[in-house]
Amino acid sequence: MNQQMNKMANTADIVMIGGGIAGLSLAVELKRRKAGHVVLIERNYIGSGASGRNVGRIRAMQLTESLTRYAILCQKKYDQMAEALG
């Protein structure tokens, strides 16, 4: 653990806490927008929370129109993810 700690960056412009889909997606987007040096901190391992245990269902129909629009945008983003991340 100490060796890993030594390799960690000691400065950052943005610190993200949590290596689930929310934290990782935001970190990738911030990097894409060149928002600065992004450091992501995960207390366990990447995907150890709900993101690594879910059913994998993507549902477009949501409770409100704005959430439905958001879900459709997310679906498009998901479809492009493999190409975007390489």
Is 41 or 84 the residue whose CB approaches ligand FAD more closely? 41
Residue 16 Cβ vs ligand FAD, minimum distance, rounded to whole Å: 9
Residue 27 Cβ vs ligand FAD, minimum distance, rounded to whole Å: 11
**Contacting positions for ligand FAD (CB under 6 A):** 17-23, 41-44, 48-51, 53-57
DSSP string computed for 16-68: EE--SHHHHHHHHHHHHTT-S-EEEE-SS-TT-SGGGTS--------SSHHHH
Q: Are 60 and 71 in contact (CB under 8 A)?
A: yes
Residue 34 Cβ vs ligand FAD, minimum distance, rounded to whole Å: 23
